[in-house]
Each structure stands twice: as C-alpha cells, then as structure tokens.
Structure 1
Amino acid sequence: MARVLRVLTQLMGWACATIGLFHVALGNAAIPGAGSAGATVDSWGRFMGAVFVGYGLAWLWAARQRPIPARAVRWLAGIFLLGGVGRLLSLAVHGWPQWFQIVLAVIEIGLPPVLVWLADAEERALRGDVEAVPARR
C-alpha cells in the first residue's frame, strides 16, 4: 500500500503543478468556454493557476517524505474534495458544465477517500496496529 500511496501522491503533485502552470500560461484559453470571459476572469484564472502549482508542490513535498505523512495527505485530500464540492454547488446553481468538468468533479469527489484510506492504512501499519493475518496451513 505504501507504494500505491507514493505513486498517487506523486501523480497528484505533478498533475496539479502541470495544470496550474497551464492555467498561468494560457489564462482563459485553458478553461473550456471561458475564452471570451474577459480580463477579470483571465486574471483570476491565472492567479488560481499559480495557487494550484503551489498545491501540487505540497503533494510533491509529501511524496518525498519517508514515510508519507498521513496528516498531510488528509489535509491535501480534503482540499481536493472541497474543490469537487464546489463543482457540485456550481452544477446546482448554474447547471451542467462542459463534459470535462464533470469528469474532473468525479475524480475530485472519488479520489480523496481512496487517498485518505491509503494514508490511514499506511499509518496504522507503521505503528504496528495492523492485525496479523493467520497463516494458512
């Protein structure tokens, strides 16, 4: 489980940092349907892209720790889940977005519980709290 947690943590870090840089570089062009949204939305999107780069770097920091700190994973996964909740609120208020935003919402709602479960399992294993599995005869 430690290896799966490390791979997912690294993947989260690189994906978030890359997506963030993409938004900083392209502004409105990085958001489907926002190309004509104007300077205010472009400014906000580029700023939030930079924040997302920092978020990705936090995941990469966690991935480099030995062991990966479960507390950091819980916090980072909670932030990711909050982003998914924000998408659900937007859906409720404004209706269905572009299809890729739905895919992202599914990932943002579904992946955090997996990450927390893996981090908790790894933390328990490191403490020795895992029940021994009886040997088969």
Structure 2
Amino acid sequence: MVPFDSPHADGVSALARAEGWPTFSDPDRVRRLFAAPGVVGLVAVHHVDVVGAAHLLTDGHHGYLTFLAVSAGRRRDGIGRRLVEEAFEATGAERIDLLSTPEAEPFYRRLPHREMPGFRVFPEWMRPHLGPGL
C-alpha cells in the first residue's frame, strides 16, 4: 500500500474501466481527482501493477469513500480490507461513509459498520441520462 502518485493513474483507470465506472476511467481525470484538496488516495501495488485503489474525501475527522476497487484476480486476498484500514490511518477519520453496489455489500458487511440508506443525487441536466423512474 502506497500513496497515489501520478504514474498509478493508468492502473487506477484500468480498475475503474473493468468495473464499468466512468468517473475514474480516464487517467487524466484520475490524476486531477486524486490530487484534489481534501483527498487521500491509496493504491495497492504488486510488482508494478496496480491491483487495488481507494479514493477518499476527508476533513480530517470524517471520511467519504468515493472509490474502492480491487482487480478481479486479487479479490479475497485482503487488499480491500487493507485499503480501508490504511484509509482510516491516513485520514485519522472516526468513520468512513460510502455508497455501495449490491455486489460489494458482502465485503462491507464483513467490516465493523452500521447500514444506513443512501442516495446519489444528480443535477437536473442529468435527468434524461438517468433512465426510467425519474
């Protein structure tokens, strides 16, 4: 586990593309987002390959996990758990909030947690792109 550095951007974006997550799929955007104020970025590197990454927003007391991904071939190796543990250490946060996909819920349920409902709110101009039900 190491702090994010610019050369890791290609590996982080490859993880995002493998999950179908557009926000972090462009290496240039990854560099900007991981360098933004109030961000802690961590990567798990095996040899030279990025096998996991975490992106957190923090005020030094609370954290919000915006991105956690581990390459499919390295899941269940403890990388995701270590990224979360390192995030707590790096931020000093007393809690980390997040949204999850249904597929990732079993992972988060293995961590000390409290489940709460959540929403992802978008600007009005996104309404036509969000599909039925809006």
Say which structure is richer in helix.
1
The structure with more radius of gyration: 1
Give the TM-score taking structure 1 as reference length.
0.30
Say which structure is richer in strand.
2
Give the TM-score taking structure 2 as reference length.
0.30
Which structure has more relative contact order (CA 8 Å, sep 6+)? It is 1
